């Protein structure tokens, strides 16, 4: 007896959206940054749109595939960069999980993206401190990074909200 596994429509959708997120992730990795480590997180917009349109399960797949495959393409798999990217993605997924459980809480795409960005950065600082640089001086740049996260999260939320509105029309 042969076991046949046929991909579902959702599997195809997740694969296409993950490919989009991976492409953005790879492009973003080659963009110059005025402050080392500061990136706009444009690939996270795809994760948020997937969450808003298709739910938590699809968003988790898109996010984790983006980090895994993106790191393989860029050449950072299992490096500190990969660990930081994965920790940020997991923290952002945690935000989406909490929001999905709070059915009565109405929060905009802007609010969700901002929370995701802030938690993403905070989780990365915790990972850096615990695993790589266990010194309090690490946190001296936290205000700069959190400010960048706040700004990029806000603008990414606006983009996600506008795109989601257009897709729903």
pLDDT tens-digit readout, 9-52: 888 889 999 999 999 999 988 888 877 778 888 999 999 999 99
In a domain, 113, yes or no: yes
In a domain, 2, yes or no: no
DSSP 8-class letter at 8: P
Global pTM reads 0.87
Asked if 18 contacts 30 with a C-beta cutoff of 8 angstroms, the reply is no
- Mention every residue, 6+ apart, whose C-beta is less than 8 A from residue 137: none
In a domain, 1, yes or no: no
In a domain, 133, yes or no: yes
Neighbours of 42 (CB within 10 A): 17
Helix, strand, or coil (residue 121)? helix
In a domain, 148, yes or no: yes
- pLDDT band with cut points at 50, 70 and 90 for residue 145: very high
Asked if 69 contacts 18 with a C-beta cutoff of 8 angstroms, the reply is yes
Residue that the structure tokens 């459980």 belong to: 101
Give the DSSP H or E segment for 116. helix 109-127
State which residues form the domain around 37. 9-168
Q: How many domains does the chain have?
A: 1
In a domain, 30, yes or no: yes
What Rg, from alpha-carbon coordinates, does the chain have? 16
Helix axes 80-101, 56-74, angle to 10 degrees: 170
DSSP 8-class letter at 19: H
CATH number at residue 74: 1.10.1760.20
| CA distances, 79 to each of 20, 72, 86, 96, 138 (Å) | 23, 10, 11, 26, 19
What length does the chain have? 169
In a domain, 4, yes or no: no
In a domain, 3, yes or no: no
pLDDT at site 1: 62
- pLDDT band with cut points at 50, 70 and 90 for residue 85: very high
- Mention every residue, 6+ apart, whose C-beta is less than 8 A from residue 139: 125, 129
Question: Which residue in 165, 157, 156, 164 sits closest to 40, CA to CA?
Answer: 156
């Amino acid at each position: 007896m042969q076991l046949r596994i046929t991909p579902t429509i959702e599997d195809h959708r997740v694969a296409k959206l993950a490919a989009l997120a991976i492409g953005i992730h790879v492009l973003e990795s080659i963009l110059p940054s005025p402050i080392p480590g500061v990136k706009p997180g444009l690939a996270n917009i795809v994760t948020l749109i997937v969450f808003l349109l298709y739910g938590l399960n699809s968003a988790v797949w898109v996010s984790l595939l983006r980090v895994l495959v993106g790191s393989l393409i860029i050449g950072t798999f299992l490096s500190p960069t990969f660990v930081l990217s994965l920790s940020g993605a997991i923290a952002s997924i945690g935000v989406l999980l909490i929001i999905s459980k709070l059915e009565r809480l109405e929060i905009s795409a802007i609010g969700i993206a901002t929370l995701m960005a802030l938690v993403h950065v905070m989780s990365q600082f915790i990972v850096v401190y615990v695993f790589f640089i266990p010194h309090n001086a690490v946190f001296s740049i936290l205000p700069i990074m959190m400010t960048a996260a706040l700004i990029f999260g806000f603008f990414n939320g606006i983009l996600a909200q506008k795109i989601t509105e257009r897709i729903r029309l």
